[in-house]
Structure 1
Amino acid sequence: MSQNPLISVYMPTFNRVQMACRAIDSVLAQDYPHFELIVVDDASSDETYDVLTARYAAEPRVSILRQTHGQGACAARNRAINAAKGDFVTGLDDDDEFLPHRLSSLLAAYDDKYSCVCSAYIWDYGSVKKTLYAQQQTVSLAELLDLHTLSNQALVKRERMLQLGGFDTTLAAFQDYDMWVRVVAAFGPALRIADASYKVNVGHELGRITNSPKRLDAHQQFVAKHRSLMNERNLQNQMFYRITMQQQTLSLAQVMHLCRYGLIKLKVRYYLKQRLARLSQLRIRLFSKGLSGLFKK
């Protein structure tokens, strides 16, 4: 393999042209030059496709494809991966951004003994930014089945993604989690590096209903799909995750029982958050709107 292999970046988009342009520009600003970006418009009903094709017509590293009818983000990702020419692939969501050293830092950390490489990432609420998982760690399958700690994007050999059939289009949610579980199960532990190079913009998503029936059904489907890989600890921790999605209140005794299966800080934090729900709501509002936003209706 070349010392400067081609990296193919796949990005689905739908009806978010301004955000998509910001995401594309963050890829074009990479300090690693040998990449291609494949954007798949999932049959947007607005001007997304026309704007993107016009704006990036003179940029040979950017390809804009279009689905004739909406098939979802996973189908769009799979189409891009199938069209890719790179030795490696990695993804970007259209509302997120790469930092300029994203590709170079992932490639520098890559080793064939790992199934894939990901990084810490920045959670941008708008007024406040948090860096998550800012510790380097080799993540085993057992650890990954406890909790999704890899982030939603990783650098992986394209041939591995193709061998596994790409993203599962039958899942309504947890598609990235499912993908990395299958990658790690097939090719060994993953590496997460501490250097954050991916920014998740969540300020516009604070109204999202994370405990929707569709998401809960998808989680049940995810657990059933990987049940044969899970031990009792994994199942208990997946049950805890489901509790958090449903925002159930736990008693101290229930929390103590769940702490027997690890993830103690996460579970204690959830227990305290439930007890201090009002303060938690103010905290999220502060992160999103800043101090002045606390006093506005």
Structure 2
Amino acid sequence: MAKISVIMGVFNGEKHVSKAIDSILNQTYSDFELIICDDASTDNSLNIIKNYISKYDRIILVENDVNLGLAATLNRCLEVAKGEYIARMDDDDVSLPHRFEKQIEYLEANPNCTILGGAARLYDGEGDYGKISHKRNPNKIDIFKSPKFIHPTVIMRSEALKKVSGYTVADYTKRTEDYDLWCKLYANGYKGSNLQEVILNYYEGRDSYKKKKFKHRIDSIKLRKIWRKKLKIPFNIYFVTIFKIIIGGLLPNKFMMKYHRVKFKE
């Protein structure tokens, strides 16, 4: 049985999926299985994945007959995962070679850590343009305010994911499935940490702020209403958090572009 089960959802990822798979196969830590669920892709993604499967027996393919979205797709991967640890990976990112080695070393030395993320280098078609990193040891208030783990950098303990029944599949978690999962884990007494070094190249357009439609902000507000009670968050923190979400959706694109350049240190 592999120590790590890597779970990857793929939807129309033909442009980058080969790089993503190669970056996992080239890890210095080799005790893993790679579970890929194709979410009813309409491009050449499935053929690319099958070509890898013909060469590597550690890759497992799951196929969705219809497009289910990321949360349901990852849950299908979890159904067949056998590892003690669950590692996330996206179809357009690149894990650096020592990622798993460093994360397993940390988790084995810190048994109270359930979620372990790390920093990421941002890149797009024009090259690298910034870096994302989060607080080393976020508490439940940090988690409530905003996602404090970069989803595709994370390794989690499998037993904890089983206890919280994996990802929540709902309309209001379509773009917030990771935030919801962190809240579920923290509400159940689990905690996480972030390595402060870059362990993954994260594909994100420089205008990524445009992807967050106001509807998605409303969904994130609904989620925070749910988790405020379960995490026992003080009302003043809840109010300020909601206010920032609303204001962020009302600000003009020019302002948000400047903010993102500062935030990502472009």
Shorter-chain TM-score range: 0.7 to 0.9
- Aligned counterpart, 1:158: 158
- Aligned counterpart, 2:112: 113
Residue 143 in structure 1 maps to residue 145 in structure 2: no
- Aligned counterpart, 1:263: none
In structure 2, the residue corresponding to 1:46 is in which secondary structure? coil
Per the TM alignment, residue 55 of structure 1 is displaced from its structure 2 partner at its CA by 3.3
The C-alpha deviation readout for 1:31-67, integer Å capped at 9, x for no partner, is 1010111010001122221221023311011112110
Q: Tell which deviates more after alignment, 125-134 or 16-25.
A: 125-134
Aligned equivalents of 1:235 and 1:106: distance in 2? 32
* Number of corresponding residues: 256
Name which of 24, 30, 36 aligns with 1:39.
36
Tell me which protein shows more strand as a share of its residues.
2
Aligned equivalents of 1:242 and 1:11: distance in 2? 29
Per the TM alignment, residue 202 of structure 1 is displaced from its structure 2 partner at its CA by 1.1
Larger Rg: 1
Q: Are the counterparts in 1 of residues 146 and 179 from structure 2 also a CA contact under 8 Å?
A: no
TM-aligned CA distance change 1:210 to 1:139, over 3 Å: same
- Aligned counterpart, 1:123: 122
Aligned equivalents of 2:134 and 2:67: distance in 1? 36
TM-aligned CA distance change 1:164 to 1:197, over 3 Å: same
Q: Are the counterparts in 1 of residues 7 and 87 from structure 2 also a CA contact under 8 Å?
A: yes
In structure 1, give the amino acid aligned to 2:39. Answer: D
Q: Are the counterparts in 1 of residues 147 and 178 from structure 2 also a CA contact under 8 Å?
A: no
Q: Are the counterparts in 1 of residues 116 and 194 from structure 2 also a CA contact under 8 Å?
A: yes
Aligned equivalents of 1:146 and 1:163: distance in 2? 24
Q: Are the counterparts in 1 of residues 36 and 60 from structure 2 also a CA contact under 8 Å?
A: yes
Equivalent positions of 1:1-297 (< 5 A) are 6-110=3-107, 111-125=110-124, 126-133=126-133, 137-153=136-152, 154-170=154-170, 171-203=173-205, 206=207, 209-228=210-229, 229=231, 230-243=233-246, 245-248=248-251, 277=255, 280=258
Aligned equivalents of 2:216 and 2:181: distance in 1? 16
Q: Are the counterparts in 2 of residues 134 and 195 from structure 1 also a CA contact under 8 Å?
A: no
Identity of aligned residues (%): 21
In structure 2, the residue corresponding to 1:121 is in which secondary structure? strand
Aligned equivalents of 1:281 and 1:220: distance in 2? 21
Q: Are the counterparts in 2 of residues 15 and 46 from structure 1 also a CA contact under 8 Å?
A: yes
Q: Are the counterparts in 2 of residues 147 and 237 from structure 1 also a CA contact under 8 Å?
A: no
TM-aligned CA distance change 1:101 to 1:247, over 3 Å: farther
Q: RMSD in angstroms over aligned alpha carbons?
A: 2.7
The unaligned stretches of length 5 or more in structure 2 are: none
Aligned equivalents of 2:25 and 2:66: distance in 1? 28
Q: Are the counterparts in 1 of residues 118 and 194 from structure 2 also a CA contact under 8 Å?
A: yes
Per the TM alignment, residue 279 of structure 1 is displaced from its structure 2 partner at its CA by 7.9
Aligned equivalents of 2:261 and 2:165: distance in 1? 41
The C-alpha deviation readout for 1:128-150, integer Å capped at 9, x for no partner, is 33222266x21111221123222
Q: Tell which deviates more after alignment, 149-158 or 168-177.
A: 149-158
